[in-house]
Amino acid sequence: MALRRILTVDDPALHKVCRPVTKFDKKLCNLLDDMKETLVEANGVGLAAPQVGILRRVIVIDTGEELVELINPKIVETSGEQEDVEGCLSVPGEYWLVKRPSFARVCATDRDGNEIELSGEGLTARCICHECDHLDGHIYTEIASRRLTDEELEEMRKESEA
């Protein structure tokens, strides 16, 4: 396994539509292992392959319950609405308010090509939508209502520590 460099928002690769994975081989397994290691090292919640320069439909998500690998994910159901603070490893140091569905269900395949499904509310739904957007060349700031100020972020940090 190896850490991968996370691209930032000005990199053209982050604005391209990714191609589906068609080969479930050692190369894919290495990518998934590297992405998981990179996500953990960066202390992130989700990571999409284009964020490490690979234009394939691959994401990893870790909302604290389990680390999930999704290949060729397709959102098949959403409902409700939530607005919350969102950040991105490719937009370091910035946090924005973003409306997302409060529930999302995605169908995908695992590293062996087996069909899997992931659904969740709250952070899981937000992460599914955020990472799937990356696969279509979109960054969360495109749909954000506003960027949070440093003062707002400091106040949120203080509240979470209390």
Q: Catalytic residue numbers?
A: 131
What is the spatial distance between Cα 5 and Cα 11, in angstroms, rounded to a whole number?
12
Q: How far is the first Cα of the chain from the last one, in angstroms, to the nearest whole number? A: 38
**Residues 6+ positions from 97 with CB-CB distance below 8 Å:** 83, 84, 85, 86, 144, 145, 146, 148
What is the spatial distance between Cα 8 and Cα 80, in angstroms, rounded to a whole number?
30
